[in-house]
Structure 1
């Protein structure tokens, strides 16, 4: 937080100098316009998302979630997927909740489903997607359907093939919160905002660089080779590690590409990226993450491509 405050004050004091430097260089001005457009549009949804995530952390405990789950695997997976939509949260919050929720059998498969559904299929993310893609309601529908199917598929695969021995990290049973719900809410919201905002800055900067560094013929090549474009956007989603409340604005800024590769970007990112892989290693263990992350990447890419072809076509 002190570093953030000092940085903001320093940039404010240097604002006039920086503005003049940007205004005299057309490429930098273009990049700055793209960066500011993405950041300003995404920030309100990012704030709303972390506030909701903080409320979930303060009011809904993993023990309470576990009591709501049916014991039959199929029913538990479906309820967890719907619960992820009803209890929205950032990716960073869904992994610890899923780890505390995890148990063998039906609850274990449901925990995996919840971990993938909560950051991807919730009202904040879907509204942000609608705002980022005005006049394209099919993108909202396709993102919701593909993300939900990805979560259900991974939950079903875990119920069928998952092994408790792959979970090598043990967590102590959480005690009652030492602080009030207000303290839990503010700490969770502050943590999620700082982490998510930092990745939003990196993502907006990367999108701005892509606009000025990558030549136009390369985008034309990707647009003409749909499979290559899908693969590139899936890998880009993993590398950028954007928050799900903000990634739609980055995807919308890449208007040089068809909708289908950008849909894959929106489905893969909340399912698996570099920060999520690191968190899964820390929470579940290396054996789990090395199996779960590659499979999630493949499933999310294939499901998003299939749903995208059916809903948005090749545009």
Structure 2
């Protein structure tokens, strides 16, 4: 079965033809080449403590996210290859407003982080799912799946209210962003790259393998871009700055929101980072848990690669504001 996408509905979303090559793959090759050249020209640079710290964070971010990115690519390829477009029209309400909460709660079944949800959401859009529902799934899946909730319970023993607050606030972010897209989203903001198109006579298994190969190269390059950004910011932001603002209710919330964007910790592990920030209030730590899976530097890079830079430039800032407000509101009630 061919994975050729359905034509977009007017005012909905356009699917861009797949270009030859991969700009994100080119970025990956350039980074590797530059590091190889630097190693031979200035080998002493790699012995500097700051460079070693930077490389440790970069490798940690990429290795932490890579398994879930592969999971997302596999699911995306399976959806585009084996699942008929008619399936989604049967399981999702026709109204985008009603489809948003269904898709948002369906995010609980994907055991992965945000790196897995982006390619899956892109595949859903290509298969004809309304973008509002796909975006709700993208935001909820890395935050409310069982693995993340269990990890949060383990990181905060004896504090079930933190698990509940994370679930409620994350679902709220997904629903609000989905409904905002229904009300204000424009089709020309969203450019989804065409997935692998099956060649004549190509079997489903061959099409699945080709789709995985194509999508992994494309998404992997953007993961590297996000990892480079996260490593750089992690290295230059002093820990003393955090300690200085922990006692301020407003600054602590803003700083941990920014830290969640910068650190780009996988959602399966971010609860343990939040639990270690003992000087901050429970609400501020909840902000860290809600913001991270919704908008961080590697996620922004992946979104730009999957849906286009115009989409990421609009979606990420609004998501950040909504996530902070949702976490603060839920924290005030439950924590």
Q: TM-score, normalised by structure 2?
A: 0.66
Deviation at residue 178 of structure 1 after TM alignment? 4.5
Give the alignment of 1:32-111 within 5 angstroms: 56-57=75-76, 60-61=79-80, 63=84, 66-67=88-89, 68-102=91-125, 107-111=130-134
Q: TM-score, normalised by structure 1?
A: 0.70
Checking the alignment, whether the CA contact within 8 Å between 1:100 and 1:171 is kept in structure 2 is no
Deviation at residue 114 of structure 1 after TM alignment? 1.0
Deviation at residue 174 of structure 1 after TM alignment? 3.7
Q: Distance in 2 between matches of 1:271 and 1:154?
A: 10
Give the alignment of 1:1-315 within 5 angstroms: 56-57=75-76, 60-61=79-80, 63=84, 66-67=88-89, 68-102=91-125, 107-167=130-190, 169-175=191-197, 178-179=205-206, 214-215=239-240, 221-312=244-335
Secondary structure of the corresponding residue to residue 246 of structure 2: helix
Deviation at residue 287 of structure 1 after TM alignment? 1.6
Q: Distance in 2 between matches of 1:203 and 1:262?
A: 19
Deviation at residue 270 of structure 1 after TM alignment? 0.7
Q: Distance in 1 between matches of 2:84 and 2:187?
A: 19
Please provide the CA RMSD for this pair. 4.3
Checking the alignment, whether the CA contact within 8 Å between 2:75 and 2:120 is kept in structure 1 is no
Q: Distance in 2 between matches of 1:96 and 1:253?
A: 31
Checking the alignment, whether the CA contact within 8 Å between 1:46 and 1:245 is kept in structure 2 is no
Deviation at residue 172 of structure 1 after TM alignment? 2.1
Q: Distance in 2 between matches of 1:252 and 1:192?
A: 30
Deviation at residue 175 of structure 1 after TM alignment? 3.8
Checking the alignment, whether the CA contact within 8 Å between 2:219 and 2:302 is kept in structure 1 is no
Change (3 A) 1:181 1:125: farther
| Alignment length (residue pairs) | 280
Checking the alignment, whether the CA contact within 8 Å between 1:54 and 1:185 is kept in structure 2 is yes
